[in-house]
């Protein structure tokens, strides 16, 4: 982290050390952990940051329930969590996902914002034994009680003239969770628009749709084991958004207000605080069968959500909230 800030943080005040650590933190540093910490602490400059890790696996998958129970049993926890991990819904039991989802609801009531990367497989693709196939949603990205972050990129290799959707940006519709009311009107508008949609047999359009928002997800530089490395993906976009939310919370706290907490109702009520990404190819899906995923469009779409946050508009809207 100090090396990263020495390279990229000379132009602004920042912290160069993590304030608090919870859970195992030994051995060589991991790529995901470095990426998350370096960008959440540079975008959310001067905000105290906790590194919270949970070891082990649950039936070969991420130990999300153990982590959430740890949070429930801890009286003082951070107001924002940025998470760049996930599993395919298909690999987890419905009961297990619903149990974790209950914990997401509980932590939202406590005023905590939880952001998850949408994944880097586009719409995803699962092939059955009979060689038929379907789209592959991810969890916890598909939970209605987390904020899911997709990815964008610049339209040109050497220019930042415009943004387009990154075709690896995970997105689509859950096969487990119903569509929450806060997004019904928005998502129905997308589905009923003139945008080209995949065949409805590949996804459940009546369920929770994601991502909610997006951010740049390409050409990120990090320091790992003292080496400079270029990385990409929604794992980069998520801490970027989380850092901006942290600054919005900071502005609210300085004004005597509470933190934003569960973000999605605020997001869907304030679409104008985002740069609407309308360019880009459809998201990836079953490319062996020449099947594209979802299209980018005006307004919300299952590639970029509402688009990328405009920081000044974000903070202004946050300050207007009660």
Closest CA to 208 of 235, 231, 186: 186
d(CA 104, CA 96): 13
d(CA 20, CA 25): 11
Q: List, in sequence order, every beta strand (DSSP E) within 20-128.
A: 20-22, 50-52, 80-83, 87-88, 113-117, 126-127
Q: Which residue in 82, 84, 143, 235 is the catalytic one?
A: 235
Eight-state DSSP code of residue 118: -
Q: Kindly give the residue spans of alpha helices, DSSP state H, lying in 73-127.
A: 94-109
Distance of CA 6 to the CA centre of its chain: 27
Q: Which residue in 32, 62, 89, 167 is the catalytic one?
A: 32
Would you call 36 a catalytic residue per the annotation? yes
Would you call 16 a catalytic residue per the annotation? no
Would you call 235 a catalytic residue per the annotation? yes
CB 46 within 8 A of CB 15: yes
Q: Which residues are catalytic?
A: 32, 36, 235
């Amino acid at each position: 982290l100090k090396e990263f800030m020495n390279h990229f943080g000379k132009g602004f005040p920042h912290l160069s050390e993590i304030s608090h650590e919870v859970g195992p933190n030994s051995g060589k540093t991991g790529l995901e952990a470095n990426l998350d910490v370096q960008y959440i602490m540079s975008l959310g400059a001067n905000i105290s940051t906790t590194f919270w890790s949970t070891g082990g696996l649950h039936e070969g998958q991420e130990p999300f329930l153990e982590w959430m129970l740890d949070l429930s049993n801890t009286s003082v926890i951070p107001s924002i969590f940025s998470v760049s991990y996930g599993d395919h819904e298909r690999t987890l039991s419905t009961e297990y996902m619903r149990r974790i989802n209950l914990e997401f609801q509980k932590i939202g009531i406590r005023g905590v914002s939880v952001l998850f990367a949408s994944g880097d497989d586009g719409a995803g693709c699962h092939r059955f034994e009979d060689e038929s196939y379907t789209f592959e949603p991810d969890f916890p990205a598909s939970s209605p009680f987390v904020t899911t972050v997709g990815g964008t990129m610049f339209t040109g290799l050497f220019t930042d003239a415009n943004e387009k959707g990154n075709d690896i940006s995970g997105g689509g519709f859950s096969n487990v969770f119903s569509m929450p009311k806060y997004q019904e009107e928005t998502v129905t508008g997308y589905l009923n628009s003139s945008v080209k949609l995949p065949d409805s047999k590949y996804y459940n359009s009546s369920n929770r749709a994601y991502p909610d928002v997006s951010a740049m997800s390409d050409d990120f530089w990090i320091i790992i084991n003292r080496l400079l490395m270029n990385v990409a993906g929604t794992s980069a976009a998520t801490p970027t958004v989380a850092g901006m939310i942290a600054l919005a919370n900071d502005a609210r706290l300085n004004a005597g207000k509470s933190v934003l907490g569960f973000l999605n109702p605020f997001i869907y009520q304030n679409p104008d605080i985002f740069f609407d990404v309308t360019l880009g190819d459809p998201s990836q899906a079953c490319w062996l069968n020449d099947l594209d995923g979802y299209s980018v469009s005006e307004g919300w779409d299952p590639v970029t959500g509402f688009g990328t946050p405009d920081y000044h508009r974000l903070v202004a809207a946050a300050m207007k909230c009660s």
